[in-house]
Amino acid sequence: MSGIEIPDYVQALDPYKPGNQKKAVKLRENVSEIIALASNENPLGTSPKVLTAITEAAKSSGLYPDPGSSELVNLLAQRFNKRPSQIVCGHGSESLIAHIVNAFSDINTRVLTSVGTFAGIYVKTHKIGRIINQVPLFKWKYDLEGIINRIQTNTKIIYISNPNNPTGSMITKEEFEWFIARVPKNILIVLDEAYSVYGAQHENYLDGLEYDLPNLLILQTLSKTHGLAGLRVGYAIGPENLIDILYKVKLPFEPSIIAQKAAVASLQDENFVNETIRINKIGLDMLVNTFKKLDIEYVEPKANFIMILLDNESMVEKFVTHSYEHGVSIRNCKPFGIPRGIRISTGTIEQTEYACKVFEHVYEEIKNID
């Protein structure tokens, strides 16, 4: 038996369970494939321009990547009217969350966020022995006033996801300005804008890049609208002194050379992004209409997914399992702290149309189960 001592906070961790995991469920006879609507991925897959860039970049796989992701950073700086020194790239925004918690907190300080937000902030905080304080959602949105009231002298970081994953709710520009006026300047605000391109389609969207604050870091990712979920590319934008610190703690060669080249190509393919936005809007309208018809409670969606709310945890389990049996994978929100919730991503128009038929059938099925 090993004599290696494992810290209690590591022992207590649960390995991450992705939304699109294969389930030990017997599929119905007419189901030959699973439509993946559990992980907010881009249903269009990957841009042809990106695939070409990946093929070319693969020829350089024997070389180390540029530690500063210079080509990508310069392109982002030009796009957002920022200085390159204000940007750092990583293996997705989730990797940057880990670096931020590691760099800007210690065992004596606290991270503050909401119940029912992106599970990555919980995992990345707990895995290095940090303590996280959580404020309940209010009407399925961040309770900004509740967060302000929960601030303590040892609060070091406040994390906000906007639009929020998994609820799909959104903080407005006015709400955020009220909030930042009340947060002490020695507390770092992390504004995770993983769904920024989707959120920007809605009125009163909060664009964090409009604010130049000494205690604000903006996170964005190319996993969603740009179809790079499998390559893991995200970036943080903020004050130069904070970005300098992140360069000290991040892995020196992230993202990979292939990921960097793919990211540059994805940012240059506006047609792919525009088509992604177009089919997402159609898909959300279809899902909203379906759940209105079924009289199922839902949160008004502001990203590329919708969260519905069923009567109890048992009903959620049945709905998720029966949907999978019919070939549609969706996400139980219990790991996010919302046991009554189910998150459903948009697919292609054809996929979403099929999924809506499945949901109607499944809901009638489970309502009749004693």
Domain that holds residue 34: 18-46+271-367
Q: Note the helical H segments in the chain.
A: 8-11, 48-57, 70-80, 92-104, 119-126, 144-150, 173-180, 196-199, 240-249, 257-267, 270-293, 313-325, 349-367
Predicted pLDDT of residue 165: 97
Q: Is residue 100 part of a domain?
A: yes
Per-residue pLDDT of the chain (370 residues; tens, 9 = 90+): 457 777 777 777 766 666 555 555 666 657 778 999 999 999 999 999 999 999 999 999 999 999 999 999 999 999 999 999 999 999 999 999 999 999 999 999 999 999 999 999 999 999 999 999 999 999 999 999 999 999 999 999 999 999 999 999 999 999 999 999 999 999 999 999 999 999 999 999 999 999 999 999 999 999 999 999 999 999 999 999 999 999 999 998 999 999 999 999 999 999 999 999 999 999 999 999 999 999 999 999 999 999 999 999 999 999 999 999 999 999 999 989 999 999 999 999 999 999 999 999 999 988 776 4
DSSP code for 214? T
Closest C-alpha among 144, 147, 149, 155 to residue 111: 155
Together in a domain, 64 and 38: no
Together in a domain, 36 and 52: no
Q: Is residue 8 part of a domain?
A: no
Question: Is the separation of the CB atoms in 283 and 42 below 8 Å?
Answer: no
DSSP code for 84? G
Cis status of the peptide bond prior to 255, with omega within 30 of 0: yes
**Rounded CA gap, 236 and 96, in Å?**
7
Write down which residue in 235, 267, 299 finishes a domain: 267
Together in a domain, 134 and 248: yes
Q: Is residue 1 part of a domain?
A: no
Q: End-to-end CA distance of the chain, in Å? A: 48
Cis status of the peptide bond prior to 15, with omega within 30 of 0: no
Question: Is the separation of the CB atoms in 306 and 284 below 8 Å?
Answer: yes
Angstrom CA distances, 42 to 62, 269, 279, 280, 288, stand at: 30, 14, 10, 9, 19
Together in a domain, 105 and 190: yes
Together in a domain, 305 and 240: no
Q: Is residue 281 part of a domain?
A: yes
Residue 341 tokens read as 């919730």
Together in a domain, 342 and 218: no
Write down which residue in 222, 239, 267 finishes a domain: 267
Together in a domain, 139 and 281: no
Write down which residue in 239, 267, 295 finishes a domain: 267
Together in a domain, 206 and 183: yes
Together in a domain, 41 and 84: no
SS3 306: strand
Question: Is the separation of the CB atoms in 219 and 236 below 8 Å?
Answer: yes
Predicted pLDDT of residue 2: 58
Q: What CATH number corresponds to the domain at position 320? A: 3.90.1150.10
Q: Note the helical H segments in 128-251.
A: 144-150, 173-180, 196-199, 240-249
Those residues with Cβ within 8 angstroms of residue 149's Cβ, 6 or more apart along the chain or in another chain: none
| Strand bridging mode 216-221 / 188-192 | parallel
Together in a domain, 112 and 148: yes
Q: What is the dihedral of CA 167, 139, 352, 52, to 10 degrees?
A: -30
Q: Is residue 27 part of a domain?
A: yes
Together in a domain, 41 and 52: no
Predicted pLDDT of residue 15: 66
Together in a domain, 182 and 244: yes
Q: What is the count of structural domains for the chain?
A: 2
DSSP code for 89? E
Q: Is residue 42 part of a domain?
A: yes
Q: Is residue 337 part of a domain?
A: yes
Compute φ and ψ for 101, nearest 5 degrees. -60, -40
Predicted pLDDT of residue 113: 98
SS3 240: helix
Those residues with Cβ within 8 angstroms of residue 98's Cβ, 6 or more apart along the chain or in another chain: 124, 127, 128
Q: What CATH number corresponds to the domain at position 102? A: 3.40.640.10
